[in-house]
């Protein structure tokens, strides 16, 4: 049912935790399935230098959170914004159709964290 990569990221998730004084935080959830993802960003010179996540949910939700953080760590904000749920699922060698919503949440959580960062930057610049 799940690929080896999904199982690896579920059993050994990367970038779990919180960042103290993050530059951006994004939280998304799906009431239907109960998955909640929270992403923390540390950004320097328009680049994601650190990223952590906390996810409450199923194995696929944890695996997609882990993979999404790996895919954007070290990338520019623009590169991270280009991340799609399909790219997350493809990097995990696929997800069952019933679990594709987990990759959507991972994409949305990263974009929400970047949006939070950008809104804080606007406030600072005023």
More confident residue, 125 or 72: 72
Burial class of residue 97 (count of CB atoms within 10 Å of its CB; 0-12, 13-18, 19+): exposed
Residue 125 in any domain: the answer is no
Grade residue 50 by pLDDT with cuts at 50, 70 and 90: very high
Q: Are 48 and 41 in contact (CB under 8 A)?
A: yes
CATH number of the structural domain spanning residue 105? 3.90.1010.10
Mean pLDDT of 89-104: 95
Check 39, 71, 102, 114 and give the catalytic one.
102
Question: Could you tell me which residues are beta bridge partners of residue 47?
Answer: 44, 76
With beta carbons less than 8 A apart as the criterion, state whether 26 and 109 touch.
Answer: yes
Average pLDDT over residues 22-31: 92
**Domain around 73:** 4-118
Tell me the percentage of the chain whose pLDDT exceeds 90: 90
pLDDT beyond 90 at 124:
no
Catalytic residue among 33, 36, 77, 100: 33
58 is catalytic: no
Owner of token pair 């600072």: 124
In a domain, 86, yes or no: yes
Question: Does 123 map to a domain?
Answer: no
């Amino acid at each position: 049912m799940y690929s080896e990569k999904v199982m690896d990221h579920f059993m050994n998730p990367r970038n779990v935790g919180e960042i103290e004084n993050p530059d951006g935080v994004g939280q998304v959830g799906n009431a239907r399935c109960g998955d909640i993802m929270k992403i923390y960003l540390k950004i320097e010179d328009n680049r994601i230098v650190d990223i952590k996540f906390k996810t409450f949910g199923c194995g696929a939700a944890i695996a997609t959170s882990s993979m999404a953080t790996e895919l954007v760590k070290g990338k520019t904000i623009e590169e991270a914004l280009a991340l799609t749920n399909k790219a997350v699922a493809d990097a995990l060698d696929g997800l069952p159709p019933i679990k594709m919503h987990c990759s959507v949440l991972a994409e949305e959580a990263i974009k929400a964290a970047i949006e939070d960062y950008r809104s804080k930057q606007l406030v600072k610049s005023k």
